[in-house]
């Protein structure tokens, strides 16, 4: 007779707007032993056509393959017709109408039918649309399959559905959005589920990194402002350290609105500025210029790199930007520009 | 077995088939094979030599199995192709190398080089951990251990005498400390480094 054992791992999942990640640790029953290390799961995913790689971040993108793409085979499913992860993100640049990005932002959109099959918006006829809830479910499903492949390997006791899972949600998510997130998790098969607000999770992580020193930094009565500047969103929350049953406890006392503005917007703005300058210069030189979609994306990435360089190095006055053309002739078609601190 | 490598089952099956007919119809070969030293482990060269068509006067009636070279060991070129594909995907490496740069100004080449450098560097760093062989600054005097590890250090200039050697470090060298390549899915053609793109 086997006794049903409890979960062996405690798992934290961050279902982010642009990236998803999973961290886990063995559950240590004996508090006198040192805490087991926290590991981040390297998630196997398609990173290019026919190429699988394990990465710690799983981009939250869903690409519906066309028949011309061929089967999108993963180690655990040879005939998959959709892609989740890095390759989905890359294909999203090539074929934007077939990819779902930022499904999480749709989850808290107040005016759409969040359970309705609305994504991707503007998809062609042959694409079977799915709801934001289903998209979130698909990302969780990929994580579960990856866990099965890497950790559980067929052992039913170790399956992710049996582990103790903590799923983070933005503090600014309303009740409906939290409900939908839970729905997606249950659909994926996760039963032992706890929702945790992202700023609190970040704060716990910060405390964890401090080790035993944290008591010197946080006392009862302190209020901590947690600022989360992501790619597409920014969240401000205030967490207070209070006393509960004689012990220090953390409570989120205030949260700002879910701001759909983040690092990516800065990059877009900088890219726009540089593009206008390039067009103006080209016009003045008598050779009018027009950027295509890939060059704009390239420019965004280059603007981000330039931004990081200028913000990271106080002495730098300008950063070069180079955008390649699309064909195989690289040298002749690369466009040059510069991002300066002044403009 | 004196020979460290060993043929796979399929190779042995084919080999046994070929040897059977050779021994049956080729007396010289049979005698050679019969000698005690040859019976131990047929060296790979013999295996390769067998399929070559011998003068057919010995067995014209019996159809010789058509010569098929024993397939070489699993191609190690797959990983190299993967690396090229990775560098092309992330850094337009092949595009850059294949282009004729002689006719362009330095500024144009420089702009393209930035794109290639940024992309390839990211790709390499994600997959290979590189470290220099010697950690000293180039241009400083170094004393090398004795005996010298010829694989990781080469001497130039007045190469004579006995160790331990002291000289000026001209190049720190590179070593790959760790390498992790992505896995190719079965059925993926590794020779396609970059797919052709057709915009609809």
Confidence (pLDDT) at B49: 43
| Delimiting residues of CATH 3.90.640 domain(s) in chain A | 263-340
A chain contacts of residue B96, beta-carbon cutoff 8 Å:
330-331
| Delimiting residues of CATH 3.30.420.40 domain(s) in chain A | 9-196
Domain range annotation of chain B: 6-73, 77-155+163-179
Please compute the mean of the pLDDT values over residues B75-80 and round it to a whole number. Answer: 80
- In CATH terms, the fold of domain A263-340 is Actin; Chain A, domain 4 (3.90.640)
Question: Rounded to 10 degrees, what is the CA torsion of A156, A159, A165, A167?
Answer: -150
CB atoms within 10 A of CB B70: 17
CB atoms within 10 A of CB B6: 9
Confidence (pLDDT) at B167: 92
Chain B nearest C-alpha distance from A93 (Å) = 12
Identify whether the C-beta of residue A270 lies closer than 8 Å to the C-beta of residue A319. Answer: no
Minimal Cβ distance to B104: which of A305, A324, A332: A332
Please compute the mean of the pLDDT values over residues B59-69 and round it to a whole number. Answer: 53
Paired residues of A54 in beta bridges = A44
Q: How far apart are CA B37 and CA B39, in angstroms?
A: 6
Identify whether the C-beta of residue A225 lies closer than 8 Å to the C-beta of residue A234. Answer: no
Q: What are the angstrom distances between the C-alpha of A191 and each of A13, A59, A100, A167?
A: 14, 24, 26, 12
Which of A146-150, A294-298, B70-74, B121-125 comes out lowest in average pLDDT? B70-74
Task: Please identify every stretch of chain A with a pLDDT value under 50, giving residue numbers as ranges.
Answer: 1-3
Tens digits of residue pLDDT in A32-64: 888 888 999 999 999 998 899 999 999 999 999
Tens digits of residue pLDDT in B176-197: 999 998 888 877 888 899 999 8
Containing A342, the helix (H) or strand (E) segment is: none
List all residues 6 or more positions away from B148 whose beta carbon is below 8 Å from its beta carbon: B155, B163, B165
CB contact under 8 A, A51 and B116: no
Confidence (pLDDT) at B75: 61
CB contact under 8 A, A323 and B96: no
Chain B nearest C-alpha distance from A73 (Å) = 7
Confidence (pLDDT) at A343: 59
What's the CATH architecture for A9-196?
2-Layer Sandwich (3.30)
Entry pTM = 0.76
């Amino acid at each position: 007779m086997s006794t049903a054992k409890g979960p062996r791992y405690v798992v934290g999942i961050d279902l982010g707007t642009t990236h998803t990640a999973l961290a886990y640790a063995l559950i240590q029953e004996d508090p006198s032993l040192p805490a087991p290390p926290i590991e981040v799961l390297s998630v196997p995913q398609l990173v290019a056509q026919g190429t699988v790689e394990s990465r710690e971040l799983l981009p939250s993108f869903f690409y519906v393959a066309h028949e011309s793409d061929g089967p999108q085979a993963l180690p655990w499913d040879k005939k998959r017709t959709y892609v989740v992860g890095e390759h989905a993100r890359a294909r999203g640049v090539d074929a934007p109408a077939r990819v779902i990005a930022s499904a999480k932002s749709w989850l808290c959109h107040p005016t759409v039918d969040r359970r309705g099959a609305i994504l991707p918006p503007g998809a062609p006829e042959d694409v079977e649309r799915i709801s934001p809830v289903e998209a979130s479910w698909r990302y969780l499903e990929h994580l579960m399959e990856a866990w099965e492949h890497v950790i559980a390997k067929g052992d039913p006791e170790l399956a992710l559905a049996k582990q103790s899972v903590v799923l983070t949600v933005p503090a600014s998510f309303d009740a409906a959005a939290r409900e939908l997130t839970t729905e997606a998790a249950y659909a994926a098969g996760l039963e032992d589920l706890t929702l945790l607000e992202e700023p609190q999770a970040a704060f716990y992580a910060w405390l964890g990194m401090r080790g035993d020193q944290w008591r010197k930094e946080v006392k009862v009565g302190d209020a901590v402002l947690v600022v989360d500047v992501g790619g597409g969103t920014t969240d401000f929350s205030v967490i207070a350290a209070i006393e509960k049953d004689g012990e220090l406890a953390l409570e989120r006392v205030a949260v700002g609105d879910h701001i759909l503005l983040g690092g990516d917007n800065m990059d877009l703005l900088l890219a726009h500025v540089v593009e206008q300058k390039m067009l103006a210069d080209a016009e003045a030189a008598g050779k009018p210029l027009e950027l295509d979609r890939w060059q704009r994306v390239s420019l965004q990435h280059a603007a981000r790199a330039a931004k990081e360089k200028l913000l990271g190095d106080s002495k730098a006055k300008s950063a070069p930007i180079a955008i390649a053309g699309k064909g195989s002739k690289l040298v002749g078609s690369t466009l040059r520009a510069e991002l300066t601190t002044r403009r | 077995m004196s020979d460290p490598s060993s043929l796979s089952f399929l190779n042995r099956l084919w080999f046994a088939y070929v040897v059977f007919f050779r021994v049956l119809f080729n007396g010289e070969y049979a005698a050679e094979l019969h000698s005690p030293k040859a019976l131990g482990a047929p060296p790979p060269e013999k295996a390769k030599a067998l399929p070559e068509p011998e003068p057919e006067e010995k067995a014209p009636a019996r159809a010789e199995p058509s010569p098929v070279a024993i397939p070489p060991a699993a191609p190690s070129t797959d990983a190299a192709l993967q690396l090229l594909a990775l560098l092309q995907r992330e850094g337009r490496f092949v595009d850059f190398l294949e282009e004729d740069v002689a006719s362009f100004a330095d500024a144009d080449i420089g702009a393209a080089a930035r794109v290639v450098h940024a992309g390839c560097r990211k790709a390499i760093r994600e997959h290979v951990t590189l470290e220099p062989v010697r950690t000293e600054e180039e241009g400083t005097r170094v004393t090398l251990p004795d005996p010298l590890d010829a694989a990781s250090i080469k001497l130039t200039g007045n190469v004579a005498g006995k160790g331990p050697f002291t000289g000026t470090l001209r190049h720190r060298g590179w070593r790959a400390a760790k390498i992790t390549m992505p896995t190719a899915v079965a059925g993926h053609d590794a020779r396609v480094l970059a797919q052709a793109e057709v915009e609809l």
